[in-house]
Amino acid sequence: MTRIAEAFKNGKAFIPFVTCGDPDLETTARIIREMAANGADLIELGIPFSDPTAEGPVIQEANLRALSGGVTTDDIFEMVASIRTDITVPMVFMTYANVVYSYGIERFMQRSAEVGMAGLILPDVPFEEKEEFAPAAREAGMDLISLIAPTSRDRIRTIAGQAEGFVYCVSSLGVTGVRTEITTDIGAMVALVREANPEIPCAIGFGISTPEQAAAMAEHADGVIVGSAIVRLIGQYGRDAVAPVGEYVRRMKEAVRNL
Amino acid sequence: MSNSSGRFGIHGSQYIPETLMNAVLELETAYNTFKNDPDFREELSRLFNEYAGRPSRLYFAKKMTLDLGGAKIYLKREDLNHTGAHKINNVLGQALLAKKMGKTRLIAETGAGQHGVATATAAALLGMECVVYMGRVDMERQALNVYRMRLLGSEVRAVDSGTGTLKDAVSETFREWTNRIDDTHYCLGSVMGPHPFPTIVRDFQAVISSEIREQMLAVEGRLPDVVMACVGGGSNAIGSFYHFINDPAVRLIGCEAAGRGINTNETAATISTGSLGIFHGMKSYFCQDSYGQIAPVYSISAGLDYPGIGPEHAMLHDQGRAEYVPVTDEEAVQAFEYLSRMEGIIPAIESAHAVAHAIKIAPAMDPDRIIVITISGRGDKDCAAIARYRGEDIRE
């Protein structure tokens, strides 16, 4: 069993996201601890990128705040290593192809594994390009997470068949960000994944912000991912965001735990 | 030149979100069908000739040749096309293709505004809805083109993210495309982005080199020694080079925007200062820091103010088949003024980068040598900005 699989053992999983270095790495480390203490099953750590093309305005601004503060990929590795001494919850990185490529794919995967990361999400690396990254990830023991989208249709079977860790089901068209309504037939997407790969957990992300939405989405899947709603709290409270984020994570986990 | 997954050597390919994958695969299938369809080709050819004014002239610049005292200089006059630049070639092709695919809406990025104006024009002509994304900074320095796009019935949306220039406009147009795919075609303006865009745009722009070849053979009875063009993403350059790539005796030179100089941070010269990376759907060379953060770039020319270069150029550079040289703002402005006075032709500030390099190399070449410079666009749009650069504040 991979460490990611453990995240799906406590009822439906709640997977929060945070942009590392927003507003600084010390705050990020405190936020991660608080997320873990409040029931996060898996934590997505965003490594900021100057031009995050899959993100809406909220996470774009977080990337900008983090980079303006001077955070680098190496600083983030060090921060993760420092919290790994007491944090056991599985964690995955979320970043863009160029961040990994310019660091050196093998070097990035090795370093990630060394500091205790379980996997990696690259939203600008589709199925057709994953072999450039997958061998080094495999070698390091990192899961390269696959995404499926409402437009994937006949591609779902192929993608799910080779998926590792979990399948990231993108709930809606467009970029990340809070939505008042999610209209995609998530149940049908998840059913296609399960047909192709009965073992792989499915987590749904993009647009989810309220406990009600989380519960509705979790009905169809094994977990939900929330990014923008958390990043918005961090944007609002800055260094004081630790408590509000912890409280938010607790409420969201409660909403999905016993479904 | 590209293989089935859209690689040019190690460059190119499709680094895009899963949400867009079926859209680019459908585009590739449609393009492969229509590019060989006689009706499509005839319709496009008619638009090129009767609407855009092709073929464009290959003009012997006699005064400039005499003044520089070296190689014979010809100008490929893409500035005479309808809408005033080479951009219309690509846009008519893509808009027609999109229409055949059943799309009713075009979206596009623009830097200087030339591609935005061309897309707005094609949308008006073919009865399609059109939204153009433009960096806030660029909207200010190219206000006239913003007005032209709106006059043509398009919506212009300001992009405030990042540096508020071309790369941010590209990012925002990709974001909009993931939001609305069914009825919308992203009419990408250069030989960049994910496969199949670099191939599609190159094929539509290759009409430039196909005409140069034919016109040069008719006038001089031989091929030119040098073909040169300015390079941002690189569409007019690849269009000018394409039909000469297999003629090794023809030197191909791309002129990059060095801004205030390649030893400063205010440059957009990708080949001179960039490194290998993955961005905007492609692997290529990019201006970036050691952690892969894309650098803010600068050039006086909004059309060359882009931190990357198309993947086919990256391959031609790797192979040594084409040379890429930096040209500073000051050199480009001098060339802008030079060509205006010398030949009565006001070139786009982008094209002036190529003129500037010709001014450097022509005098040392024998008089029986021939240089072709592609004048990718006309310079009316730049007059106010160049006047300001020279310390004169004029109002339009």
For chain A positions 139-178, those within 8 Å of chain B (CB to CB) are 147-153, 155, 159, 170, 173-175
* % of chain B at pLDDT higher than 70: 99
N-term to C-term CA, chain B:
45
Instruction: Give yes or no for B284 touching A (CB within 8 A).
Output: no
B346: phi then psi, degrees, rounded to nearest 5: -95, 105
Over residues A157-198, the pLDDT tens digits come to 999 999 999 999 999 999 998 888 888 889 999 999 999 999
DSSP one-letter code for B277: E
CA–CA distance from A67 to each of A22, A75, A233, B396 (Å)? 8, 12, 18, 39
* pLDDT class of B215 with cuts at 50, 70, 90: very high
Specify whether the CB–CB gap between A184 and A226 falls below 8 A.
Answer: no
**Whether B283 is catalytic:** no
Over residues B323-347, the pLDDT tens digits come to 999 999 999 999 999 999 999 999 9
Per-residue pLDDT at A108: 98
Instruction: Give yes or no for B175 touching A (CB within 8 A).
Output: yes
* pLDDT class of B32 with cuts at 50, 70, 90: very high
CA atoms within 13 A on the CB side of A165: 27
Single out the residue of B230, B131, B253 nearest to residue B185, CA to CA: B131
* % of chain B at pLDDT higher than 90: 93
The CA-based angle B189-B99-B195, given to 5 degrees, is 45
Specify whether the CB–CB gap between B328 and B261 falls below 8 A.
Answer: yes
Which helix (H) or strand (E) segment holds residue A205: the answer is strand A202-205
> From start to end of chain B, where are the E strands?
7-8, 11-15, 58-60, 72-77, 105-110, 129-135, 155-159, 184-186, 226-231, 251-259, 275-279, 281-286, 322-328, 370-375
Q: Distance between alpha carbon A174 and the CA centroid of its chain, in Å?
A: 17
Single out the residue of A2, A193, A104 nearest to residue B276, CA to CA: A104
Task: Work out the minimum CA distance from B163 to partner chain A, whole angstroms.
Answer: 10
Given a cut of 50, is residue B1 above it in pLDDT? no
**Residue range B196-215: mean pLDDT, rounded:** 98
Asked if B292 lies within 8 A of A57 by C-beta distance, the reply is no
Mean pLDDT, rounded, of chain B: 96
Chain B residues lying within 8 Å of A74, measured CB to CB = 291
CA atoms within 13 A on the CB side of B370: 20
Over residues B50-72, the pLDDT tens digits come to 999 999 999 999 999 999 999 99
**Residue range A115-130: mean pLDDT, rounded:** 97
For chain B positions 211-240, those within 8 Å of chain A (CB to CB) are none
**Residue range A10-16: mean pLDDT, rounded:** 96
* pLDDT class of B396 with cuts at 50, 70, 90: low
B357: phi then psi, degrees, rounded to nearest 5: -70, -35
Chain A residues lying within 8 Å of B278, measured CB to CB = 96-98, 101, 124
Instruction: Give yes or no for B4 touching A (CB within 8 A).
Output: no
* pLDDT class of B267 with cuts at 50, 70, 90: very high
Per-residue pLDDT at B2: 47
CA distance B56 to B208: 8
Task: Work out the minimum CA distance from B312 to partner chain A, whole angstroms.
Answer: 19
Asked if A124 lies within 8 A of B15 by C-beta distance, the reply is yes
* Torsion over CA: B285, B287, B289, B294 (sign): negative
Specify whether the CB–CB gap between A172 and A150 falls below 8 A.
Answer: yes
Asked if B293 lies within 8 A of A67 by C-beta distance, the reply is yes
A152's tokens: 């994937």
CA–CA distance from B179 to each of A146, B174, B190 (Å)? 20, 9, 22
**Residue range A135-140: mean pLDDT, rounded:** 98
Q: A–B: how many Cβ contacts below 8 A?
A: 112
Say what angle helices B197-205 and B18-34 make with each other, to 10 degrees: 30
pTM of the model: 0.96
- Domains of chain A: residue spans and CATH: 12-254 (3.20.20.70)
A152 closest CB neighbour out of B13, B18, B178: B18
**Whether B299 is catalytic:** no
B15's tokens: 């680094």
Given a cut of 90, is residue B353 above it in pLDDT? yes
Q: Which of the residue ranges A24-33, A149-158, B133-142 would you say has the lowest mean pLDDT?
A: B133-142
Per-residue pLDDT at B4: 61
Task: Work out the minimum CA distance from B17 to partner chain A, whole angstroms.
Answer: 5
Q: Which of the residue ranges B64-73, B92-101, B136-145, B250-259 would you say has the lowest mean pLDDT?
A: B136-145
Of these residues, B109, B172, B312, B343, which one is catalytic? B109
Chain B residues lying within 8 Å of A54, measured CB to CB = 17, 175, 178
Which helix (H) or strand (E) segment holds residue A44: the answer is strand A43-46
- Domains of chain B: residue spans and CATH: 8-48+87-201 (3.40.50.1100), 54-84+206-389 (3.40.50.1100)
Chain A residues lying within 8 Å of B281, measured CB to CB = 124
Mean pLDDT, rounded, of chain A: 96
Given a cut of 90, is residue B3 above it in pLDDT? no
Given a cut of 60, is residue B250 above it in pLDDT? yes
Of these residues, B87, B103, B167, B381, which one is catalytic? B87
